[in-house]
Amino acid sequence: MGGMCTKKNLTEEEVVNSIFNNFKLSSLDVIYVYEEFLKAVSGKDTSSYTIDSSIFRVFLGKIVDKNEYKESHITFFENLLPNNKEKPVSSIRRIGSILIFLSKGSLTDKLNALENHLNTFYGNKDRNVKDFLSDMIEINTELCMLSFKSNLDAETQKSLGLIWKKHRKQKYLLKLYVLYEESKQLSLKRDLGLTAIKHFLTNNMNMLYGENIRNFLYEEYLEENNPFYNK
């Protein structure tokens, strides 16, 4: 990326990815992780859902692997807990989504868990899908940097802020949503027996992993700022 982290001679993207590459959930299966997470959640609908922070913190101690970034990884999840400015369901949506992506498990198990998570905590309207896609982008950029500041020097933080601009994230969101719309039309046309979101995730789930989100933003940044850059 633009600046360099002289301590390890790594680019900003490599620093962030090195942190996330060590982000393991104790090699636990996605079904187990998600079911355990739900034990900290109570309520009947989006207006009443809450998350018990005490139970959730005990849960974190069980699932986050021991590694040099463990404290930052726990901080990452704690920063996703509700604050006074947002409804608890917003936190539950983000936490559940990233847990599914970080857990072990087959594509089928992850797809089933995501579909259940979306239907329960987001809803099955098109606007809810857009909320989910937007959450995945924010989790892996701004919320990621907020949690891992102690592992990033000031120059790196500044560079990432320049790269993760709102207009680039909106461009990626639009790209994802167009693919979702195409999946929806194809699913209806061919009667594939899959919901639109499940059909979309089956073919495009890799695009929602943090490294791929950040790589897209970085390439867009280079293209905008380097006239000689070719993707």
Cα dihedral: 12, 178, 109, 99 (round 10): 40
pLDDT digits (tens, 9 = 90+) for 66-92: 777 788 888 889 889 988 777 899 999
Q: What is the pLDDT of residue 7?
A: 38
Return the minimum-mean-pLDDT range out of 15-29, 130-144, 200-214: 15-29
Within a domain: residue 194?
A: yes
- Whether the per-residue pLDDT at 142 is higher than 80: the answer is yes
Within a domain: residue 231?
A: no
Average pLDDT over residues 164-179: 96
Q: What's the CA gap between 141 and 217, in Å, rounded?
A: 10
Within a domain: residue 170?
A: yes
- Whether the per-residue pLDDT at 211 is higher than 90: the answer is no
Q: What is the domain range of residue 38?
A: 7-225
Degrees (nearest 5) of the Cα angle 218, 221, 227? 125
- Whether the per-residue pLDDT at 151 is higher than 50: the answer is yes
Within a domain: residue 140?
A: yes
Within a domain: residue 22?
A: yes
- Whether the per-residue pLDDT at 1 is higher than 80: the answer is no
Write the CA distances from 227 to 85, 166, 210, 214, 221, integer angstroms.
Answer: 42, 21, 26, 20, 11
The three state secondary structure string of the chain is CCCEECCCCEEHHHHHHHHHHCCCCCCCEHHHHHHHHHCCEECCCCCCCEECHHHHHHHHHHHCCCCCCHHHHHHHHHCCCCCCCCCHHHHHHHHHHHHHHHCECCHHHHHHHHHHHHHHHHCCCHHHHHHHHHHHHHHCCHHHHHHCHHHCCHHHHHHHHHHCCHHHHHHHHHHHHHHHHHHHHHHHHHCCCCCHHHHHHHHHHHHHCHHHHHHHHHHHHHHHHCCCCCC
Average pLDDT over residues 4-26: 60
> Among all chains, which residue has been given the structure tokens 């892996």?
140
How many structural domains is the chain composed of?
1
Q: Are 140 and 210 in contact (CB under 8 A)?
A: yes
Q: What is the pLDDT of residue 12?
A: 66
Within a domain: residue 137?
A: yes
Q: What is the pLDDT of residue 111?
A: 92
- Whether the per-residue pLDDT at 159 is higher than 60: the answer is yes
Q: What is the pLDDT of residue 100?
A: 94
Within 8 A by CB and 6+ apart from 11, the residues are: 1, 4, 5
Tell me the pLDDT band of 14, cut-offs 50, 70 and 90.
confident
Within a domain: residue 133?
A: yes
Write the CA distances from 222 to 1, 58, 213, integer angstroms.
Answer: 8, 42, 15
Q: What is the pLDDT of residue 197?
A: 86
Q: Are 93 and 121 in contact (CB under 8 A)?
A: yes
Average pLDDT over the chain, rounded to an integer: 84
- Whether the per-residue pLDDT at 8 is higher than 70: the answer is no
Q: What is the pLDDT of residue 73?
A: 82
Q: What is the pLDDT of residue 11?
A: 67
Tell me the pLDDT band of 173, cut-offs 50, 70 and 90.
very high
Within a domain: residue 176?
A: yes
34 vs 158, residue with greater confidence: 34
Burial 15-24 (b: 16+ CB within 10 A, else e): bbbebbeebb
Q: What is the pLDDT of residue 126?
A: 86
Q: What's the CA gap between 134 and 131, in Å, rounded?
A: 5
